[in-house]
A and B are shown apart, each in its own frame.
With several copies, the nearest count.
Chain A
Amino acid sequence: MESTAVKKKTMTLVQAITDGMRTMLEEDDRVLVLGEDVGKNGGVFRATDHLQEEFGEDRVMDTPLSEAGFIGAAIGMAVNGLRPVAEIQFLGFIYPAYEQIMTHASRLRSRTMGHYTVPIVIRAPYGAGVRAPEIHSDSTEAIFTHMPGLKVVCPASPSDAKGLLIAAIEDPDPVLYLEPMRCYRSSREEVAEGKYTVEIGKAKKVQEGEDVTVITWGAMVPVAAQAVKEMEATGVSCELIDLRTLYPIDRDTIAESVQKTGRTVIVHEAHGTGGVGNDVLAIVNDTSFLYQKAPVERVTGFDSPVPFFSFEDEYLPTPARVKYAIEKVIKF
């Protein structure tokens, strides 16, 4: 559902997120933003900048430093009619709230057969590559996609960011909304004013191609795009897919593309073992086995903790590593 609004404004990804929250705070009185430092400070990344000024302390609330507490409280609020949008300061600090998300946010609907529901959004900046101090750079989306009852989205562009955020806020179920920090201000794009949504569960074909399907999301989209561009120069035509939603993954778009190209490269910055890339691999296995001309290649972070920033770039997939993988599936 793209909007019919025509007025557009140039924004960074983080500005588009602010705009999405502002739009929904205006639109829906039940929406409320909460988290650490989201008030006067506007969040450590300024994602909630000026929102408290505009909407008051009742709508944009600083909470104590208490992730389990405020996510738990947000669940109670959601059950009682509000639409909380909670900010976790960095994904690496969500773990104290893991139980509240795992056992309650994601299960309450099924426990009560739909009697109680938890329409909350949990926003979290994530990923490496911005020289943040250690433990600020985790990309552990896989520990959330394995939680039945939770949706997980991750925009890579400003207009997707706004549209997915509004879709997440309107979703009747809990949504983890991951914000690739590296993309916060790395580029600008025209973003429609007012309310519009990007459908949860739909991938985006960033580029059409014939020889290889490259599947990625978040901060790896520009990395993969760079590799794809360089490969095109050598005559290899790549289809680039930005998943945008990590649960439920858009199976049809993947299958269609892989059945066309026969070759798949998956790129993500999380650790290889147990990464969401394996879900993509499983989709290829399940839908497109006979079309495969080569084994699926995965270009991922290593099975090590995300290293300190002085060598985080060594950890992160690079265009070169993506290119090797593309060459490998081509030459198989």
Chain B
Amino acid sequence: MENDFPIKMWIDENGNVQEKEYKEVVTEKLTRTFYQQLIRIRTFDRKGISLQRQGRIGTYAPFEGQEASQVGSAMALETNDWMFPSYRDHGATMTFGHSLKNILLFWNGRNEGCIPPEGKNIFPPGIPIATQLPHAVGAAFAEKRKGSKNAAIVYFGDGATSEGDFHEGLNMASVFDAPVVFFNQNNGYAISVPMEKQMNTKTIAQKALAYDMPGVRVDGNDVFAVYAETLKALDRARSGEGPTLIEAVTWRYGAHTTADDPTKYRDQLESERRREEADPVLRVERLLKNQGWFDEQWAEEVKKQAAHEVDAAVAEMESFPPVDPNDIFDHVFAEPTWQLQEQKQQYFQAKKGVPVWNQQQ
């Protein structure tokens, strides 16, 4: 099966373009844009970890190592498409236009983190594994019914493929020819469980065969290959040819979340090795250098820009007004039920030190 699903690669680990025909796509402009985005989300991610360590946000799920998968796939989207991320895909949501401040707010336990910028179709992060897949199918189906050319992309991990919702989502999408791209980031682990304990197969792409759906494996650390395959899948979706399953083979360097200690279950030297050999950012840097497009000063500028943008978002997040407990009660329904109205009133009375028992029943 592995042979039937070879890993597609455009740029090798040394930054060399694999096929002549790719050269048309691998332009200086696009390469620089990718580089910028990769640096941008990596900068954000490292800040996320450090904010958590300093107690300035809550538990955080880092994606370092997976940047090419997230940037490449998100850049392939059109502005009105739909994105259904998991908790580890804020690299993708940022790239698609989510607000950095809101992403930080999410990790700081704020509902505002679930709200995308106006006009951007980004679902809140999927927390219960794989449950977002059926949502994406439904949203995509609705686009099809509207007669639009919009598509949906949904992100999930290798572990997610074991859930029933993975299967039900792919099956329904294939039956309804829903314009949706199932974008899997196979980072080798579901918390501590390695792929070989998660499934019997060596690839995830082959699971598409169960739905007569195209399945493709791509080097998830090669932003160009990811971009190209996602574009292709989105094109298929838009033109009514139905869904595609993409397996982006990648690796998370660090912990599952900041609450996790990866050394309990794996040798972190593997991450170090991959960081040197197969890093998604380094690969683009090497490409830039090989092509003679690299400019140290520009690169510094990119990094400074990114740091600046992230710092500004952190500042915004930290100066954000404190939570308003009204929000506990006011968004459960369009109109709060009497239970919520009353509980809210009692909550605020108790808060003010007015004994609840003073109230009339």
Contacts and interface: CB of A to CB of B under 8 A. Distances in A.
The reply to whether A and B meet directly (CB within 8 Å) is yes
Interface of A: 32, 36-37, 39-42, 44, 58, 62-82, 84, 92-93, 95-96, 99-100, 103-104, 108-117, 131-136, 148-149, 151, 171-173, 201, 247-248, 251, 272-273, 286-287, 302-305, 307-312, 314-315, 318, 320-321, 324-325, 327-329, 331-332
- Residue among B169, B193, B332, B350 with the highest chain A CB neighbour number at 10 A: B332
Q: Closest 5 CB pairs between A and B?
A: A76-B138, A72-B134, A328-B357, A69-B168, A41-B192
Nearest to A40: B265
A173 B59 contact: no
- Which of under 10, 10 to 19, 20 to 34, or 35 or more describes the interface residues of B? 35 or more
Given A115-B115, A328-B355, A304 B172 contact: no
A37 B134 contact: no
B76 interface: no
Contacts of B357: 324-325, 327-329, 331-332
Contacts of A41: 191-192, 264-265
Contacts of A328: 355-357
A37 B191 contact: yes
A90 to B, nearest CB: 9
Interface string B320-361: 000101011101111001111001100100100101110001
26 contacts: A62-B192, A66-B164, A68-B134, A69-B162, A72-B169, A73-B135, A76-B141, A77-B138, A92-B127, A96-B128, A100-B134, A109-B332, A112-B115, A112-B124, A113-B111, A113-B327, A132-B58, A133-B87, A133-B127, A149-B332, A172-B334, A247-B337, A304-B343, A308-B110, A309-B109, A311-B327
Given A73-B172, A302-B329, A248 B134 contact: no
A272 B109 contact: no
A197 to B, nearest CB: 15
Contacts of A302: 328-329, 339-340, 343-344, 347
B127 A69 contact: no
A151 B328 CA distance: 18
A307 B261 CA distance: 27
A100 B169 CA distance: 12
B138 A72 contact: yes
Given A77-B141, A251-B338, A307-B328, 12 more contacts: A64-B171, A64-B197, A65-B163, A68-B134, A84-B138, A133-B59, A302-B347, A303-B343, A304-B340, A311-B109, A311-B328, A314-B328
B25 interface: no
B198 interface: yes
Nearest to A330: B357
Contacts of B134: 68-73, 75-76, 100
B332 A304 contact: yes
A322 to B, nearest CB: 10
Given A104-B135, A133-B87, A321-B350, A72 B127 contact: no
Given A116-B123, A310-B108, A314-B328, A327 B259 contact: no
